[in-house]
Every structure is written in C-alpha cells, then in structure tokens.
Amino acid sequence: IFGNDPLAEPGQVEKIFGVQNLPLKAAKDLDAIIYLVPHREFQKLTLAELKNKCKNKAVLFDLRWQFDKEEAEKLGFRYLTL
C-alpha cells in the first residue's frame, strides 16, 4: 500500500494516511486504485495507463467520477464509486 500526491508536503501523506508517498511511476502490479484527489497530473491519466499498472481484475474506486464506468469495466476493472 502506498499513496501518490505530487503536491503534498514532505511527510504529509505518511502522517495523515500512514503510507509512503511514492511517485506514480513506481506503481506496478496493483490490486486496487483509489482515485481521491483531482490534481491536474491525475486528470491526464487514461484508464489504459492505469490498467497497465494493475493486476487482472483490479478495483478502481473513483471518488471523483473522473472515469467512465463502462470503459473501465471493458478494460477489466471492477469500478466502484460513491
């Protein structure tokens, strides 16, 4: 488990969430992605790019309604939102 917030102050992610703040390029073989903060860097990501970082049947929990559910499911994500 790790977080990625390119705008967070050093140590902020670790303090608030208790996980390391690693660069997105470090992501691989993920079981799940929680899309929580709509930074510009994240809005540029495509579902295909995210899927390339995941295992099969990964969960995409899209808290910002950034992605299309049908497209996500076609790529093999289990798509969840609030």
Adjacent-strand bridge partners of 54: 30
On average, the pLDDT of the chain sits at 94
pLDDT for the residue 2: 94
% of the chain at pLDDT higher than 90: 84
What pLDDT sits at residue 23? 92
pTM: 0.88
pLDDT digits (tens, 9 = 90+) for 37-59: 888 888 899 999 999 999 999 99
Query: What is the per-residue pLDDT for 43?
Result: 87
| pLDDT confidence of residue 38 | 84
Distance of CA 52 to the CA centre of its chain: 12
CA distance 40 to 75: 23
Residue at token pair 């295909």: 48
Residue 31 identity (one-letter amino acid):
D
Strand partners, 39: none
What would the two tokens of residue 41 be?
């860097």
The token pair at 62 is 């899209």
HSE-up (13 A, CA, CB side) for residue 22: 10
Q: Is residue 44 within 8 Å of residue 34, measured between CB atoms?
A: no
